[in-house]
Amino acid sequence: MITLTGLAVNRTQKLSIKPGTTALISTTDPYSKLRSDIYHAFIDAFNKESAGYARVASVKPFEVCLNKSTVPFSRVGYYVPQIDLILDGGKEWSIFGSNSMVQVGEEALCLGFVDGGMNMEHGMVIGGFQIENNFLLFDMDKSRLGISSSLLFMRVTCNAFNFTRSN
C-alpha cells in the first residue's frame, strides 16, 4: 500500500487528493480502479488533454475510448497524455500509453482505468495492466517501494528477466 497526494494528466492537469488517500497494488485486478470522486476528476482531465484524438463508443468496463487509427505509437506505447501518480514525499510513478491504453477490438483504444464506486477502502487500486513492464522492488525491512519507469524506455520487457537464476 502506498500513499497518494495527487494525480497529474499530461503534467498540466493536477488533481489534488484528500490527504492520507492510499493506493493498493494488486496483481489480481486487471485494471486500475479509482474511487468515484477521484475517477470523475481524472476522466475530465484526461478528456481535456486528449481532446485532439477522435473518439469511438465506449466499451465496457471502460468509459473513454479513442479511435486507434488517430493515435500515434511510440516506444512506450500509444502517444497519449502521461499519467502521474504523485506519491507521499513528492515522488511520481509515471504511466505511459503502454500501461494506460487497452486495445479493444480493431479500432477502440480505451483508457484502462475504471470507476470503483464511492465505497472503496482505498482511493485507488493499481491493477496488473498498469504494473506490466515496470520493475517494483519491495523493501520490507524499511517499508519502502522502489518503482522503475517503464522498462520499454530501455527496450526491455519483464519477460527478459530470469528471476530463478542465482549466482
pLDDT in tens, 134-147: 655 556 787 666 56
Higher pLDDT, 18 or 47: 47
pTM above 0.85, yes or no: no
Asked whether residue 94 is domain-assigned, the answer is yes
User: What pLDDT is recorded for position 12?
Assistant: 86
Asked whether residue 165 is domain-assigned, the answer is no
User: What pLDDT is recorded for position 146?
Assistant: 59
CATH of the domain at 54: 2.40.70.10
* pLDDT band of 167, cuts 50, 70, 90: low
Flag whether pLDDT at 30 surpasses 90: yes
> Residue range 87-107: average pLDDT?
89
Asked whether residue 125 is domain-assigned, the answer is yes
Asked whether residue 167 is domain-assigned, the answer is no
Asked whether residue 166 is domain-assigned, the answer is no
- What range does the domain containing 97 cover? 2-160
Q: Which residue spans within 29-166 are E strands per DSSP?
A: 32-34, 65-67, 73-74, 77-78, 83-87, 92-95, 101-104, 108-111, 113-115, 124-126, 136-139, 144-147
Q: Which residue spans within the chain are E strands per DSSP?
A: 2-9, 13-16, 22-25, 32-34, 65-67, 73-74, 77-78, 83-87, 92-95, 101-104, 108-111, 113-115, 124-126, 136-139, 144-147
Q: Tell me, what DSSP letter sits at residue 144? A: E
Higher pLDDT, 74 or 42: 42
* pLDDT band of 7, cuts 50, 70, 90: very high
Asked whether residue 84 is domain-assigned, the answer is yes
**How many domains is the chain built from?**
1
